[in-house]
Amino acid sequence: MKDVGAPALIGLRELTRKKRSRSQSQLFGPPLECTNRLKEIMTRHYYLARFATGAKPVAWVTSGAPVELLRSFGFYTIYPENHGALVGAKKQGAAMCSIAESAGYSPDLCSYARIDLAHTLSGKTPTGRLPKPDLLFASNNICQTITYWFKAISYHYNIPLILFDTPYNYTELAQTDINYMVEQLQQMIPILEQASERKFNNSKFAEIVGRARETSLTWGAILATMRNSPAPMTIFETFFHLAPIVSLRGLPVAHDYYQILLTELEERVRDGIGATSREVKRLMWDNIAIWYKVRDHSIQFAEQGMNFVTATYTNAWAETTQHLDINNPFESMAKTYSLVILNNNLDYRLKLMQRLIQEYQVDGLVIHSARSCKPYSVGQYDIKRKLYQELKIPAVIIDGDITDERAYSDEQTKTRLDAFFEILGN
């Protein structure tokens, strides 16, 4: 299955894939060669997931959870948020959300949650089939919705839910907070031993933590190549190349893939090959991608000679990597997972964005006010005002949703972007 079935599926999809028109191709540089490898890795991941039940213990995991601990017990992991992004990119988000809404879930609930609940209730998914979880593993470091969403899944399947509770950083992380999180991680071990029928191996755990650190550092180096002008990749591409660092973090396949991607990007930098054919203005994206509009936005901005070179979203899997330490894995994981952008105060986010703007020589900012992700969207108008006052960076806020197309207006967005393009053009 792994060596024959998945590549065959990939080949069939490539034959039916819609090609860019000649005019659209002229907007961009040559495509990254390793993109086909990414498709193979992720298709294989979802394909093998269909047969994981009974072969390996299966866990559904949130993107902000310390998955390294699960890896040491051999769990096959599925990330509902990543699956939701896939559904959104295929423009099936609204249809899936409607299933959850018909069952009584509010349209104001996160669309990732609605898609996951819809899959749980109906079994529908563009990946063919997801394995039934034996365990749920969540962290509230990105939002509180996660807690109640996974509680609903836990109730539906009658399976255990492990929650990693991270104190919010109003000012700075205290030692008492670290001790609280370390104790939680250590108390998870007997539960995971029972669920996986494997004993905890501290050496293996440290090895996985070390590999996760190296993978995240490589991801950070990949993002750093985009400080060059022209940037060898666009943020719209990194939204998809982000998949392994989320879904396969701690596994050799993710580390190996990012080494390949980094080498190709460094070669493009040396050869002066840009992601777009004309990079006049360099932009930053704030918030999660609008998955069903990624392609349209990439063309729309490229037509204006604008390239997105950094994003708070893609940076999130590199910003706390330095805390991971194989010699002190539990405490270092507590720091790594509790210091992420969404578990921090707005002043932290403002300073982070100021640093990215300066390091990547950003000319303008596009802020996605996501109906689904309220923790990510709160304070955006204040941040927009502050960045203009202090750095004179023009910004535009566009309303939308990460996967539910019904929350997005083409006309309203076009009006706002036209005004933004005019400001940057002057």
* Residue 14 pLDDT grade (very low, low, confident, very high; cuts 50, 70, 90): very low
* Residue 163 pLDDT grade (very low, low, confident, very high; cuts 50, 70, 90): very high
Residues of the domain holding 14: 5-425
C-alpha pair distances (Å), 149 with each of 145, 156, 423: 6, 11, 41
pLDDT at 19: 52
* Residue 15 pLDDT grade (very low, low, confident, very high; cuts 50, 70, 90): very low
95-111 confidence digits (pLDDT tens) = 999 999 999 999 999 99
246-266 confidence digits (pLDDT tens) = 999 999 999 999 999 999 999
| Burial label, 390 (beta-carbon count in 10 A; 0-12, 13-18, 19+) | exposed
pLDDT surpassing 70 at residue 375:
yes
Mean pLDDT of 331-352: 95
Instruction: Collect contacts of 300-304 with beta carbons under 8 A, ≥24 apart.
Output: 300/417, 302/27, 302/28, 302/276, 302/277, 302/278, 303/27, 304/280, 304/421, 304/424, 304/425
pLDDT surpassing 80 at residue 331:
yes
Q: What's the structural domain count of the chain?
A: 1
Q: Model pTM greater than 0.75?
A: yes
pLDDT at 260: 97
